[in-house]
Structure formats: C-alpha cells, structure tokens
Amino acid sequence: MDTAFDVERIRKDFPVLSRELPGGRPLVYLDSGNSSQKPVQVIETMREHLAVHYANVGRAMHVLGAESTEAYEAAREKVAAFVGAPSRDEIVFTKNASEALNLVAYAFGNPINEDPRFTMGPGDEIVISEMEHHSNIVPWQLLARRTGATLKWFSVTDEGRLDLSNLDELVTERTKIVSIAHQSNVLGTVNPVARVLERVRQAGALMMLDASQSVPHKPVDVTALDVDFLAFTGHKAVGPSGIGVLWARAELLDAMPPFLGGGEMIEAVWMDRSTYAPAPHKFEAGTPPIVEAVGLGAAVDYLSSVGMDAIAAHERELTRYALEALGEVPGLRVVGPTDLQDRGGTVSFTLEGIHPHDVGQIMDDEFGVAVRVGHHCARPLHLRFGIPATTRASFYLYNTPAEIDALVRGLHHVRKVFA
C-alpha cells in the first residue's frame, strides 16, 4: 500500500460501503465504535479457511487439523505482534471483550486459587470509573457481590475527563485491581494510563485496560503501556464478531485459576480432579471460534498494512473537522472533550429539545446516515451528565469529510422537522 493515506482506495476494500440503501440512498456509516465494517481481505480469508482448510484445532491428527491449527495459532502470533505482546502465549482468545473482562474478574476471590494477588474478600477494593462501558462495570459489581469486596470509581469531570483529584484516596493499599477504559466509547476521551498506573504500582495493585475503543484506532503497545491486563474485541477492528482478546502478563496467566472448564484446557483428567494446560490454552475451553480467530489475524494484517499511525492521523483529521462542523449546529452540545488533546474519533452530542431516537431515525431513513443513539451501554455516564441518551458518531479509517457533511446536513433537517 502507498505511504500516503488514500481513503478512496481503502473504501474499495469494504464492499458494504458501495451498496445502496432502499430508496437509492448511499450508506454513510458513522457507527464503527459500535461495530466496524469488514474489508474483502478479511471476508476472503475466512471464506477460504471455511472452504479448504477447516477442521478442529489442537486435537485432530490429519492434514486439515494441522492446517487449521496452524492458521489459528498464526492468528494468535499476529495479534501478539499487533499489540506488542512479548509472547504469543500471552494472547487468550475469548468470544469478545466482555468475556475477557469477565475472565479476569473471575480470577479474583476464587477459593481454588491462593495466589495473594488474586485473593479477594471484605476490606479489599476494586476501582473502576464512571465512564466505563457496562462490560467494565457489571463484572466488577458481580465480583464485589461474590466476595464482599468494595467497588469504588473515578468520577468524570464536566469536560469528560477522568477526575484524578482524589487518585491517592481512591487507589490505596486496599486496592487489588483498577480497571478503566483506555478510550471512552462515548466521550472519545483517552485516559492518562501512565498517571493512574504509577499510583497503582505504589499501592501494589493490578491494572486492566478495556482497550476495545483504542486498539482498532491507534498503535497500542502493551509493553510500553506496562499494565497487567488488556481486553479488546475483533469486530470493532475490521474483524469478525465472535472473537475477542485478553492479553495478560505470562506470570499472571500462570497464577490465575482456569475460567471455564472443558476440552483442550486440560493436561490430564481423572474422575475426581484435573490438571490444566499451560496458558493460553488453560483459558480456552471447548472448540474455539476458529474461523473468527483466523479472520482477526487477517484484520490485524490489514490494519498493519494501512499503518496504525496513518489510521490515527486520518481519524484525528476527521475528528477535528467534525468538532468544528458540529459546533455550528444550533442547540448542539458535545458531551466529551471539544479539543483534540487525548481524544479519539468518537463524538457524542445532544440536540436541544429533540430526543436522540428521533435524531437517529430521521438520519437513517432520510439520509442513510447510520449513527448510534441511546446510552451506548454506558448508562452511569449519561446519568452523571443528567441526560437519558446521546447521539454518537464514530469514525474509522474508511470515513471521509463528505460523510461528516452529510451528518451535519441531516442534523439541520432534523431540527427543521421538530422546529
């Protein structure tokens, strides 16, 4: 691929972007933060695997079994390289980011595990934030309920930043785990990981990042971040749904108890007990999403061939353009940072006197503009801002300034309908 970022050429890789919607409307897809579209490279790789390489992985002693296993493990290797993991054994395939977060939450307070980093009971504390997606809230609520531990959280400032003013009181020697979003799925805010991590290390706690909204959009290197766990999902990163990733330090994966029990996660089984396979297989019970993993491998290959730096720069320009254009729509209020500092390409907003569901319906039906409306699985964040819902436009490598113009035209029309 050329070094220059050629969005028209990229768009040709995504078949759906050239389809028409009923009534001859072109599609303007501004909902990649929800789920991204797929390039032909991913579709073809998955089709080919299903067509001529498919068999179960890790347990079939024949040519197809070997080819399928090789492709599955090669995908693990690609994902490891993509996020800068020191070893492919630190990559656990899950079904999505939610499962990756739950897997870590279930490692704590499990009576079969005595490692002091993972014990949990009354007096221990878990720290999250008010800007989390439900998938980084509910697993920790459940953990607190199971163990009697206390759940605490960072507040969010009016500007949509993590409020670190009480960092030292929130994260203490009682804290066992801090889990926050790398980038907010509503605000677009990129959180100050290094600053939080410094305090987490002082407190002797562990740190997890929900990187579902960062890994698809910019270079993410787990070694440079230096956190302990990181979760993301394939379907937001031009890959298929049904495949997610947990990265964790090898020594932590070794110290953690298994999550689900089943085939391929064992070493030996007797009727009354079992020993377990080493990580990552210890955490991959049952037949995994094979074709989906292979598809994710193709997805990270695709993103790397375009270049994550180039994608981040493209999205930054789109975000700059969108913030400016949206700022001129009367009655529109952006919920989240209005500058480009530590901010990704997700812009949520309210339109005075018009409910987001009405905005979304008219945008879709009259302009073919797909945005997300609602609380985006972040209800506590919306409660914090005193609003029931927002309209969210989220950008990716295939979006163009002309599509943001279409969004703005649509918003002007929505205002006219409800004037």
Partner 1 sequence: MIAESMYQELILEHYKHPQGRGLRDPFDAEVHHVNPTCGDEITMRVKLGDGDKVEDVSYDGQGCSISQAAASVLHELATGSTVGETLAVVEEFTRLMQGRGQVEPDEDVLGDAVAFAGVAKFPARVKCALLAWMAYKDALARSAS
Per CB under 8 A, the list member of 11, 88, 355, 384 interacting with partner 1 is 355
- 371 interacts with partner 1 by CB under 8 A: no
DSSP at 258: P
User: Which helix (DSSP H) or strand (DSSP E) does residue 308 occupy?
Assistant: helix 308-326
Query: Which residue's CB is nearer to partner 1, number 314 or number 375?
Result: 375
Query: Which residue's CB is nearer to partner 1, number 259 or number 385?
Result: 385
Structure tokens of 127?
A: 């720290």
- 362 interacts with partner 1 by CB under 8 A: yes
Is 377 annotated as catalytic? yes
Structure tokens of 7?
A: 């969005």
Per CB under 8 A, the list member of 364, 372, 396, 411 interacting with partner 1 is 364
Per CB under 8 A, the list member of 134, 146, 333, 379 interacting with partner 1 is 379
Minimum CB separation of residue 374 from partner 1 in Å reads: 6
Query: Which residue's CB is nearer to partner 1, number 207 or number 363?
Result: 363
Minimum CB separation of residue 376 from partner 1 in Å reads: 11
- 361 interacts with partner 1 by CB under 8 A: yes
Nearest residue to 347 (alpha-carbon basis) of 283, 411, 271? 411
Count of C-beta atoms within a 10 Å radius of residue 396: 24
**CA distance readout (Å), 71 to 45, 57, 83, 248:** 10, 9, 19, 22
Count of C-beta atoms within a 10 Å radius of residue 111: 7
C-alpha dihedral (374, 376, 379, 381), degrees to nearest 10: -110
- Quote the distance between the C-alpha of residue 114 and its chain's center: 30
Query: Which residue's CB is nearer to partner 1, number 182 or number 372?
Result: 372
Structure tokens of 248?
A: 């964790």
DSSP at 291: H
- 138 interacts with partner 1 by CB under 8 A: no
Residue type, 288: P
**CA distance readout (Å), 201 to 171, 175, 246:** 10, 10, 21
Minimum CB separation of residue 294 from partner 1 in Å reads: 33
- 26 interacts with partner 1 by CB under 8 A: no
User: Which helix (DSSP H) or strand (DSSP E) does residue 197 occupy?
Assistant: helix 193-203
Query: Which residue's CB is nearer to partner 1, number 186 or number 354?
Result: 354
**Which listed residue (91, 310, 363, 377) is catalytic?**
377
Stretch that binds partner 1, among 153-161, 306-314, 339-347, 381-389 (CB under 8 A): 381-389
Per CB under 8 A, the list member of 77, 198, 366, 405 interacting with partner 1 is 366
Per CB under 8 A, the list member of 26, 374, 380, 401 interacting with partner 1 is 374
- 65 interacts with partner 1 by CB under 8 A: no
- 357 interacts with partner 1 by CB under 8 A: yes
Instruction: Please list the residues that pair with 393 across neighbouring strands.
Output: 347
Helix (H, G, I), strand (E, B) or coil at 387: coil
Residues 290, 54 contacting (CB under 8 angstroms): yes
- 418 interacts with partner 1 by CB under 8 A: yes
Catalytic sites, residue numbers:
377
Report the interface residues with partner 1, using CB under 8 A: 23, 354-358, 361-362, 364-366, 374-375, 379, 382, 388-389, 417-418
